[in-house]
């Protein structure tokens, strides 16, 4: 069953400069849409990933703690969002540490049909790049809220999770170091 995506939401995601994906909040949380910055970041086109679960980006990476956080978010309908660094792989097999942000989008009647996700490569980023991304994500969410509202959708818990950039960069660098030492072993 193909979910009908609200036109203004589709237009907004399409024109965003931030890597974004929209997934179903049901079944296997299959991707419904990805934008061009997502494809530029991952190397995967919409044709490659729409209809599939985004975990395909994880390949063989362990990601024990991030996976636990994501499973908890998906299992707890009252948890509005999650933000975690996670090891992902580009289509060409190149690993990167993705700062993944996911938020539920709810209809006015409380149904959650969509999961909004943003991706950012923190593998080699400097703190100022992450601060710029945080600002871009904050602006993206600020613009998304009224557009989603016009479509009868509520974006939950948006700005509260955008914090602690330095700690996230440090955690991402540790994950990348672990990944590189495993590859060199």
pLDDT tens digits, residue range 86-104? 999 999 999 888 989 998 8
pTM of the model: 0.77
pLDDT at 162: 46
Q: Which has more confidence, 139 or 98?
A: 98
Average pLDDT over residues 117-124: 84
Can you give the pLDDT at residue 172? 61
Give residue 160's pLDDT: 46
Distance (Å) of CA 125 to CA 17, 21, 24: 17, 21, 30
Cβ(23)–Cβ(115) under 8 Å? yes
- How far apart (Å, rounded) are the C-alpha atoms in residues 70 and 21? 15
């Amino acid at each position: 069953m193909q979910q009908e995506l609200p036109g203004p939401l589709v237009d907004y995601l399409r024109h965003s400069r931030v890597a974004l994906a929209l997934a179903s909040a049901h079944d296997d949380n299959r991707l419904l849409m990805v934008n061009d910055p997502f494809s530029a970041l991952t190397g995967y086109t919409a044709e490659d990933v729409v209809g599939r679960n985004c975990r395909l980006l994880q390949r063989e990476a362990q990601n024990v703690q991030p996976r636990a956080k994501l499973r908890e978010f998906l299992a707890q309908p009252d948890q509005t969002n999650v933000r975690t660094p996670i090891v992902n792989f580009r289509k060409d097999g190149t690993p990167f540490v993705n700062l993944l942000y996911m938020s539920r989008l709810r209809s006015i009647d409380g149904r959650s049909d969509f999961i909004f996700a943003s991706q950012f490569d923190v593998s080699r980023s400097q703190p100022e790049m992450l601060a710029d991304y945080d600002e871009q994500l904050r602006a993206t969410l600020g613009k998304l809220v009224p557009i989603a509202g016009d479509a009868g959708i509520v974006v939950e818990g948006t700005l509260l999770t955008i914090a602690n950039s330095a700690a996230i960069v440090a955690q991402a660098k540790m994950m990348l170091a672990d990944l590189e030492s495993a590859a060199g072993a």
